Each structure stands twice: as structure tokens, then as C-alpha cells.
Amino acid sequence: MCGIVGLFLKDKSLEPQLGALLSEMLVTMTDRGPDSAGIAIYNAAAGNRGKITIQSPAAEADFAGLDKELGEKIGESVKMLAKSTHAVLDVPAAKLQEAREAVLELRPNVRIMGIGEAIEIYKEVGLPEDVADRFGLSGMSGTHAIGHTRMATESAVTTLGAHPFSTGPDQCLVHNGSLSNHSNVRRELIKKGMKFETENDTEVAAAYISSKMADGLNLGEALESSLNDLDGFFNFVVGTKNGFGVVRDPIACKPAVMAETDQYVAFGSEYRALANLPGIEQARVWEPEPSTVYFWEH
């Protein structure tokens, strides 16, 4: 079943409240996805700095001294902020890919959750409220964020199987639905050099969008393309460094609702996820149309 929430802020004064607002939205979707939960949160890019979000089931051992070792490996200053099973490594933007490869060499058991100038990704098995509390979501600030609560139907309940999936710099995708042709699409993407860590069809959707954008399409065009190439039923909510996009399949059988004010754009699988947002009484509220792409950008 799964639940999706998303919040794109237009009003910078709300940025310190982003995590708190998203946390409440996420928890309301618990009964749609009690198995695992995750969030992607975006901050304004620093320009010359980048972030690598990592995860380890043996965090205490894997994170110990990693910032110093990584700094020595890439010849640059590295900072690390650990949060439970995850940590965010702050490195020079020009060294992001080199640092990513070095992390995997130094700590083979560590998983890369996301990489980019603005994105941080946190996801784990457990109830959404517990996951949000574990990573201190309510205290986070940012410009936009996406969250997901998962009820597994086609693959195992694992940290890697939780959403969001990130397959490109500062990109992520969450999904409610099921793709019928994901195996064929996966094979074509592997031929193009894409790598996969799970059997989850959502990872295929994320990789499809990343591949199309790497080919030169913008997010809106990539989402339009997905309507022709991905079979099944789906709601996708996608984040980029500056943007926030939504698309529903032509059948549109999965629930979705959106709201927009002068302060924000919000998405929820159900209206109750939006009910406590500031100014919701005056918002324009609508159900996204089938086969229609919605996109906002800072």
C-alpha cells in the first residue's frame, strides 16, 4: 500500500520547520506503511561542498575514524556527522565521486544512501515515528523534503529496500504502486551502465529517471517519458537539488492529494497527511490528474 509525503517550501521563513512539518506528515501515514520509512531532505547547496550519506548496521565500528581516514585518502578536510546507523560526510564538491569510491574501499560494509550538494537520506526498518525520532527529523531544516512509509509487497523488508531510492547526484524517488515491466527496464539500464543494489521495482524507476536526466532531459521531461516506458500503476514523487516533481500513471488508482499556498506545495497519499500544515484552510487542494506531470523549482 505505502504512503508518500512531500513538502516543497516557497517561503524561506518556514525552512527551520521543515523537519517538524514533514515528521508529522510522515507519522500520519503509518498505517499505510508500518514496515520501514525514510526521508530525503534538501538544504540549499553550499556551492563548493558536497555530502555523502552513508549507512552501516555496525555503525560504531564503521564510522570510527572514517572522517580522518577519508580525509587522508582524498587529501582534503572531511567532516562527519553521525546519526544512529547513518552518517553524513562533508567533502569538497569537486571530490564527491573520488570520496564515494574511497569510502567503499575503506569501509566495504558501508552503504551509500545518497550523494550530492544538497541531499541527505535517512531510512530504516521500523515504524515511521521510530525512524523519524531515531534520526532527529523534527529538528532538521531545509528547502524541500520527501518521505515514505513502506508496506512491503514484492521484496524483503530491509534498510536498502526502504524508500527513497537515490541513483543520481541530488536525485531521489519514492513510489506507491507496482511496475510490471521493471525486469526488462532493469536489463536495459544495466546495459547503459546503471548499477542496482536491490530487487525493488522502485529502484528501477529511480534509475530510469536518473538515466534520462543524464541523457539531457530535465526532470519534467524525464517524468513525461516514464509514462510511455514504465508499465504498471504508480505515483512517483521525485526530488532534485532545486526541484520537486509528481506524476501519476494513466489509470491513477493509487490515492494522491496536493495542496499549494504562497508558502509551500505539499503532497500526501491522503489528505490527513496535509491537514495540520499552516494555512491549509486557504490552500488550493486538488487530486493530481492522471498522466500529468507537476513540477516546482527554486
Q: Which are the catalytic amino acids?
A: 2
Q: How is residue 261 annotated by DSSP?
A: -
Greatest Cα pair distance, the chain, in angstroms, is 54
Q: How far, in Å, CA of 59 to CA of 277, rounded?
A: 35
Residue type, 67: D
Q: How far, in Å, CA of 6 to CA of 267, rounded?
A: 5
Helix (H, G, I), strand (E, B) or coil at 93: helix
Distance between the two ends of the chain, CA-based, in angstroms? 31
Question: How many other C-beta atoms can be found within 10 angstroms of the C-beta atom of residue 35?
Answer: 19
Residue type, 175: H
Q: How far, in Å, CA of 176 to CA of 1, rounded?
A: 7
Residue of 109, 61, 107, 66 whose CA lies nearest to 90: 66
Residue of 278, 238, 280, 297 whose CA lies nearest to 6: 238
Report the chain's C-alpha Rg in angstroms: 18
Residue of 280, 275, 244 whose CA lies nearest to 262: 280
Using CA atoms, how far residue 104 sits from 78, 112, 197, 226, in Å, is: 15, 8, 14, 31
